[in-house]
Amino acid sequence: MTQQYELSELIRSDNFIDGKWVASAGGKRFDVTNPATGEVIAQIADSDAADARAATDAAARAFPGWRDTLPRDRAAVLHRWHALMVANADALGRLISLEQGKPLAEGRGEVMYGASYVAWFADEATRIYGDIIPQQQRGKRMSAIKEPVGIVAAITPWNFPLAMIARKIAPALAAGCTVVGKPAEDTPLTALALVMLAHEAGVPAGVLNLISASRENAGPAVGDWLADSRVRKITFTGSTPVGKYLARESAGTLKKLSLELGGNAPFIVFDDADLDAAVTGMLAAKFRNGGQTCVCPNRVYVQSGVYERFADLLATRVAALKVAPATDPAAQIGPMINARAIDKIARHVDDAVSRGVRVLTGGKRLPELGPNYYAPTVLADASPDMQLSCEETFGPVVPLFRFDHEAEAIHAANDTPFGLASYFYSQDVRRIDRVARQLEAGIVGINEGALASEAAPFGGVKESGYGREGSKYGLDDYLSIKYLCQGGLE
Ligand code: NAP
């Protein structure tokens, strides 16, 4: 029978190093707060370089043993971890909502989404094949085998506190790597709970180590991993500036890197689109997690013939969205994560208003609910000079841009340094083929707003980073290829 925990039993406040819960070396702590109320949920370990080093030491000791386990034994551990996540989906979902703010249904959905990667990579662990290379010379046999890269450092953001770290730890463990990790300052509790369940599932001491740190200490703590030649890979999800910093600072020890970075997703609605489907797709893609998602449409290009009709349909549906704390079962949009986030949203909307957008709905904070709430917003007549056209808003704001010709929409969609997700709606098969090929993005949604799946390769191009998470490609980032050449066989 798989153990089920109460929410309070899942809250951990120490680091997890070498199979034990330990306070930070400096004894410091920082507050984790509920973004809906500002209340302190827990005071947890504030780690620095000494804690990062202790985690690496443990991971280095554990690596040879874990690397040499049979793949099916690693798979069995991951399957037990998956079962524990599913059995505790309600409590984990509530923990996500508590520290991150998303509605309860979304918190639970995130647990199942993150767990799906664990099950997927459990199976993939048993399918790490190599190649026998066709013979080139008599007496020589050449082959390629795959080996775990070594110690992996995983650094994750606050917007999906469970899924983002699960989809890094699962492939790393499946490949035979050991892991050191640091979740975001705002949402470390879910990651710590996940590690607790991994330990219970049988992940051996030292194989998975997690430290928490305040924003102030994140640099020194992670910096120790960047400089340590024993850490062979950094897997990071977060903003593009921090991704670039990690790439620069880890160059001294030439680590393998996976960088899942920021997006600025275009969403194009052509005159020939099914408008109801486009509005439904927009709601799914944009308003999940209150718009705090890297694949959220940030710029919406609508062709002139359907512009006003699409704007009306969308504004009506958006105005009906229920904004409330996660504890309200009817909530569809919760609070934003923190004051910095809500200030950025307000700055983008104020800038757009000062440059002439029409506010069709929303466009304001909701102080009656609390300091971190913003009304779901639709803005018409947006233009490329506005801040929300060039930067991720990361909130519930839809700016509508008008276009006349297909080439104009594609040029505008690609006119960004980013290339994570993109979306378009059209019912013309030739246009679908043309546009899908021309969009510069790692992910293209065609008449579809919900793209996430553990079976699909998730990742970006351009300054949205490199590497892929999920799918049959997802393990490659955690493996290196060794070429074996055996002579004297005649
Ligand atoms: P962030 O500021 O880049 O932070 C991400 C992680 O890096 C956090 O753990 C953060 O710690 C840590 N960090 C920040 N500065 C650091 C430094 N100097 N040295 C070492 N670690 C550092 O990003 P965020 O605001 O949490 O997340 C939002 C961004 O993530 C958006 O741009 C979004 O598009 C992107 N994202 C991308 C994907 C994807 O798959 N491509 C998925 C989700 C989110 P602290 O929390 O302590 O600052």
pLDDT for position 456: 98
Q: Residue 459 falls within a domain, yes or no?
A: no
Task: Report pLDDT digits (tens) over 29-67.
Answer: 999 999 999 999 999 999 999 999 999 999 999 999 999
Residues 245, 181 within the same domain: yes
Task: Report pLDDT digits (tens) over 279-310.
Answer: 999 999 999 999 999 999 999 999 999 999 99
Mean of per-residue pLDDT scores for the chain? 98
Residue 148 in this model has a pLDDT that exceeds 90: yes
- Nearest atom within ligand 1 for CA of residue 458: 40
Residue 18 in this model has a pLDDT that exceeds 90: yes
The whole-number average pLDDT for the span 360-376 is 98
Dihedrals phi, psi of 16, to nearest 5 degrees: -115, 105
Task: Report pLDDT digits (tens) over 167-218.
Answer: 999 999 999 999 999 999 999 999 999 999 999 999 999 999 999 999 999 9
Q: What is the Cα–Cα distance from 407 to 412, expressed in whole angstroms? A: 9
- Nearest atom within ligand 1 for CA of residue 469: 40
Residues 61, 208 within the same domain: yes
pLDDT for position 490: 84
In the reported structure, the alpha carbon of residue 154 is separated from the centroid of ligand 1 by a whole-number distance in angstroms of 11
CA-based end-to-end distance of the chain: 57
Q: Residue 345 falls within a domain, yes or no?
A: yes
Q: Residue 364 falls within a domain, yes or no?
A: yes
In the reported structure, the alpha carbon of residue 334 is separated from the centroid of ligand 1 by a whole-number distance in angstroms of 20
Taking CA atoms only, the protein residue closest to ligand 1 atom 10 is: 184
Residues 248, 152 within the same domain: yes
Residue by residue, DSSP assigns 173-198 as HHHT-EEEEE--SS-HHHHHHHHHHH
Q: 382 is in which domain, residue-wise?
A: 265-446
* 388, 400 Cβ separation under 8 angstroms: no
Task: Calculate what percentage of the chain has a pLDDT beyond 70.
Answer: 100
Instruction: Tell me the sheet residues that pair with 258.
Output: 235
* 472, 124 Cβ separation under 8 angstroms: yes
Longest dimension (CA), the chain: 83
Q: Where are the alpha helices (DSSP H) in 262-372?
A: 275-287, 307-319, 339-354
pLDDT for position 275: 98
Task: Calculate what percentage of the chain has a pLDDT beyond 90.
Answer: 99
Task: Name every protein residue with a CB atom under 6 angstroms from any ligand 1 atom.
Answer: 155-159, 164, 182, 184-186, 215, 218-219, 222, 237-239, 242, 245, 260-263, 294, 392, 420, 460
Residues 85, 141 within the same domain: yes
Taking CA atoms only, the protein residue closest to ligand 1 atom 40 is: 260
Q: Residue 452 falls within a domain, yes or no?
A: no
Taking CA atoms only, the protein residue closest to ligand 1 atom 42 is: 294
Task: Report pLDDT digits (tens) over 303-316.
Answer: 999 999 999 999 99
Catalytically active residues, by annotation: 260
Kindly report the pTM of this predicted structure.
Answer: 0.97
The whole-number average pLDDT for the span 465-485 is 98
- The amino acid that residue 81 corresponds to is W
The whole-number average pLDDT for the span 323-330 is 95
Q: What is the Cα–Cα distance from 451 to 445, expressed in whole angstroms? A: 7
How far does CA 338 lie from the centroid of its chain? Answer: 18
In the reported structure, the alpha carbon of residue 221 is separated from the centroid of ligand 1 by a whole-number distance in angstroms of 15
Q: What is the Cα–Cα distance from 358 to 381, expressed in whole angstroms? A: 6
Task: Report pLDDT digits (tens) over 254-263.
Answer: 999 999 999 9
Taking CA atoms only, the protein residue closest to ligand 1 atom 43 is: 294
Q: Residue 439 falls within a domain, yes or no?
A: yes
In the reported structure, the alpha carbon of residue 233 is separated from the centroid of ligand 1 by a whole-number distance in angstroms of 17
DSSP 8-state secondary structure symbol assigned to residue 395: S
Residues 91, 236 within the same domain: yes
The whole-number average pLDDT for the span 96-106 is 98
Residues 86, 208 within the same domain: yes
Taking CA atoms only, the protein residue closest to ligand 1 atom 30 is: 238
Residue 1 in this model has a pLDDT that exceeds 90: no
How many structural domains does the chain have?
2
pLDDT for position 214: 98
Residues 225, 273 within the same domain: no
Q: Which pLDDT band holds residue 449 (cuts at 50, 70, 90)?
A: very high
Residues 251, 291 within the same domain: no
Residues 369, 276 within the same domain: yes
* 358, 382 Cβ separation under 8 angstroms: no
Task: Compute, in degrees rounded to 10, the torsion defined by CA atoms 424, 425, 428, 430.
Answer: 10
- By most ligand atoms within 8 Å of CB, the mutation choice from 99, 102, 117, 155 for ligand 1 is 155
In the reported structure, the alpha carbon of residue 241 is separated from the centroid of ligand 1 by a whole-number distance in angstroms of 9
Q: Residue 244 falls within a domain, yes or no?
A: yes
Residues 231, 315 within the same domain: no
Residues 307, 337 within the same domain: yes
Question: Could you tell me the CATH number of the domain that includes residue 393?
Answer: 3.40.309.10
